[in-house]
Amino acid sequence: MVIALPYAIFDGGPHRTVLLPVAAAGTALSLAFALTVPRSSLLQRFRRSAVALYSLAHVVIITVLAIADGGIGSPMSLGFFGTCVFCACTMPPLWMAAFGGVNIAGYLAVFICAGSTHDGIVWVQIAGIIATSIACAHQRHQLQRQRGAMSELARTDPLTGALNRRGFDERLTAAIADGGSIAMLLLDIDDFKLVNDLRGHAAGDELLITVVDILRAIAGPSTPVARLGGDEFAALLAGEQTLVIADTLRGELLRRGIAASVGLATRDPREDSTALLHAADRDLYERKASRKRRRGVLTESLSRG
């Protein structure tokens, strides 16, 4: 549209009185769309509908401009390529297919109403419009897949495949916003540094992966499980599952010979995610301290005996 306006002003031919107001209206519409939609929270909620209406208006304006300027041979008819590129880059596949049909219908309307100096060019340009739309839609699909993969990587611990802290915080915030009974389980491996020092980092990495596998197997595949950092892990549980899962987890860790402490906290409806995490963290370290005290008492008794 921005290109159509200078053309109408400087080279509008005998139909400048039609081209100029239509091109000006199209330019104003394009500028309003570009300046309003990204900044309006209301329009963002209905962004797909806004894009669809804008695209439909764009096709109608291009059709009118091309007819007024002499038909398919007019430079204005190239605007149909711009419309198909815009639709392919902004719409989902089904909407794109529908607007591809609208775009071609507009192009044929120009041919029927104003004709062409070379009929063969019509089918070549229609094929070009279709090919351009397919290429753009394919590229958009590839970019969306890449964006999704990058988003997943940004929220995943690369070693264990569990969520990282960012990914877990997002799931926790969403769960609290949804309401309902939720609980936090924290797990910390005891003396993990000794594993790295005595058996090597490969053994330490294998232990971290094993702990995540155990957590997932016990908590279930739909439960958010995260490595928060180092040797600390978390799982977000439904409130009624908490005690059973925690007891099962402790038993499985003991059976595997893995020394770890497990902390629990159930969310108070008045608390936010930070309070829940702090409560679970407090319970974890109280249990860890209690285990150390018991271990110290046992060691002292054995030394005296």
Q: State phi, psi for 266 to the nearest 5 degrees.
A: -100, 140
Q: Across the chain, which distance is largest between two alpha carbons, in Å?
A: 113
Token reading at 106: 């507009």
Q: Is the pLDDT of residue 301 over 60?
A: no
Q: What is the pLDDT of residues 233-257, one digit of tens each?
A: 999 887 667 888 888 998 999 899 8
Q: Is the pLDDT of residue 298 over 60?
A: no
| E-only strand ranges, the chain | 182-189, 225-229, 232-238, 260-266
Res 300: pLDDT:
45
Q: Is the pLDDT of residue 304 over 60?
A: no
Alpha-carbon distance 10 to 16, whole Å? 9
Exposed / middle / buried, residue 146 (Cβ in 10 Å: 0-12, 13-18, 19+): exposed
Instruction: Find out whether 239 and 276 touch, Cβ atoms under 8 Å.
Output: no
Token reading at 71: 């038909």
Task: For tokens 């679970």, name the residue.
Answer: 280
Q: What is the pLDDT of residues 259-285, one digit of tens each?
A: 888 888 887 666 677 778 888 888 888
C-alpha pair distances (Å), 24 with each of 18, 20, 81: 10, 6, 20
Alpha-carbon distance 300 to 4, whole Å? 90
Alpha-carbon distance 132 to 150, whole Å? 27
Res 297: pLDDT:
42
Stretch (H or E) spanning 262: strand 260-266
Q: How does residue 224 score in pLDDT terms, banded at 50, 70 and 90?
A: very high
Q: What is the pLDDT of residues 15-40, one digit of tens each?
A: 777 888 888 888 888 888 777 766 66
Instruction: Find out whether 135 and 89 touch, Cβ atoms under 8 Å.
Output: no
Give the amino acid at 69: D
Q: Is the pLDDT of residue 84 over 90?
A: no
Stretch (H or E) spanning 78: none
Q: Is the pLDDT of residue 206 over 90?
A: yes
Q: What is the pLDDT of residues 97-140, one digit of tens each?
A: 788 888 888 888 888 888 776 666 777 777 887 887 777 777 77
Compare 51 and 37 and report the one with higher pLDDT.
Answer: 51
For the chain, what is the total number of helices (H) and then of strands (E)? 12, 4
Alpha-carbon distance 195 to 187, whole Å? 17
With CA atoms as reference, report the closest residue to 280 among 208, 240, 232, 247: 232
> Of the ranges 50-54, 64-68, 158-162, 278-282, which is most confident?
158-162
CA angle 122, 90, 140 (to 5 degrees): 85
- 3-state DSSP assignment of residue 23: helix
